[in-house]
């Protein structure tokens, strides 16, 4: 009887030991799995895109973010005027600029840098920061402007033939409120001029103007014909 009792204790001890071993193995495996799924990685970590309005992608206007290490992931664009992102991580370039796509899972966030670059660069836009004073403008462009009858108007010919060049208009407080570019039609066909604007600004059909932002302030851009040889592109603060 005593012998049977010792055998029974031995069997019981073996079973308990086996259970402990299985528990340790299971918890170790579970920890590895938690650790595995808690670390996320994103490829690529930087994106260079063109605008969706450009017919020929150069670079592509759409890229896919690949996320590993987590099943449930959220995506968010810091500036949807520049690029948007789908629920599955597809990033689409909208307008020229830079933004961040945030990839979030649990308590982790990975930032993906996105830059949308222009295809059309036929000319340089006039300065359209409407917080500038006359002195601010002079510090940027110099004092080579041509004097006008109105002291609130600055004209920079930029080596072209009048009226081509940049015109700047200041309000009574001496703050810039309108910039104007007179551009030769030989510089860019009208269809390309429209695409130049579309890949940079949103078109507002009600105002008949393109809408943009600088320093978080709205501005309007209007295209018109100055005469048979020139375009007139006007930037006005919103």
Q: How many domains does the chain have?
A: 2
Residue labelled with tokens 């308990």: 16
* Within-domain flag for 202: yes
Output the pLDDT for position 38: 66
> Residue 67's domain spans which residues?
41-116
* Within-domain flag for 36: no
Q: Using the 3D structure, point to which of 85, 116, 147 is the last residue of a domain.
A: 116
Please check the confidence at residue 4 and state whether its pLDDT lies above 50: no
Q: What is the CATH number of the domain that holds 89?
A: 2.60.40.1080
- Asked whether 73 and 104 are in contact (CB, 8 A), the reply is yes
pLDDT, tens digit (0-9, with 9 covering 90-100), for 139-187: 999 988 887 889 999 999 877 777 789 999 999 999 999 999 999 999 8
pLDDT, tens digit (0-9, with 9 covering 90-100), for 41-61: 999 999 999 999 987 767 899
Task: Give me the phi and psi of 194, to 5 degrees please.
Answer: -65, -40
Q: Which is nearest to 202 in space by CA: 81, 121, 54?
A: 81
pLDDT bracket for residue 19 (50, 70, 90): very low
- Collect all residues with Cβ–Cβ distance below 8 Å to 186 and sequence separation of at least 6: 229
Q: Are residues 97 and 191 in the same domain?
A: no
* Within-domain flag for 56: yes
Q: Are residues 84 and 175 in the same domain?
A: no
Task: Give me the phi and psi of 205, to 5 degrees please.
Answer: -70, -30
Q: Are residues 108 and 149 in the same domain?
A: no
* Within-domain flag for 61: yes
* Within-domain flag for 30: no
pLDDT, tens digit (0-9, with 9 covering 90-100), for 90-147: 999 999 999 999 999 888 999 999 999 999 999 999 999 999 999 999 999 998 888 7
Residue 121 has what DSSP assignment?
Answer: -
Q: What is the dihedral of CA 152, 158, 160, 161, to 10 degrees?
A: 20
Report the DSSP beta bridge partners of residue 217.
214
> Measured at the alpha carbon of residue 56, what is the angle toward residues 81 and 181, in degrees to the nearest 5?
60
Q: How far is it, in rounded angstroms, from Cα 200 to Cα 203?
A: 10
Structure tokens at 92: 């689409």
pLDDT bracket for residue 6 (50, 70, 90): very low
Average the pLDDT over each of 14-28, 71-85, 107-121, 158-172 and give the range with the smallest value: 14-28
């Amino acid at each position: 009887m005593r012998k049977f009792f010792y055998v029974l204790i031995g069997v019981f001890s073996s079973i308990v030991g086996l259970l402990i071993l299985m528990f340790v193995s299971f918890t170790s495996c579970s920890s590895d799995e938690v650790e595995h799924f808690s670390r996320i990685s994103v490829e690529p970590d930087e994106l260079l895109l063109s605008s969706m309005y450009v017919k020929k992608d150069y670079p592509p206007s759409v890229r896919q973010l690949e996320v590993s290490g987590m099943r449930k992931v959220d995506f968010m664009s810091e500036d949807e005027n520049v690029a948007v992102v789908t629920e599955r991580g597809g990033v689409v370039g909208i307008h020229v600029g830079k933004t961040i796509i945030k990839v979030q899972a649990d308590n982790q966030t990975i930032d993906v840098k996105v830059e949308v670059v222009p295809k059309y660069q036929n000319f340089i836009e006039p300065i359209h920061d409407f917080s500038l004073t006359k002195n601010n403008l002079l510090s940027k462009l110099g004092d080579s402007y041509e004097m006008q009858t109105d002291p609130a108007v600055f004209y920079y010919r930029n080596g072209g033939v009048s009226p081509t060049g940049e015109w700047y208009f200041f309000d009574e407080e001496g703050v810039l409120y309108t910039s104007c570019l007179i551009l030769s039609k030989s510089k860019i066909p009208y269809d390309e001029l429209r695409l130049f604007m579309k890949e940079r600004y949103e078109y507002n059909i009600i105002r008949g103007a393109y809408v943009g932002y600088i320093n978080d302030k709205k501005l309007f851009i209007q295209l018109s014909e100055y005469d048979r040889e020139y375009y007139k592109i006007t930037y006005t603060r919103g």
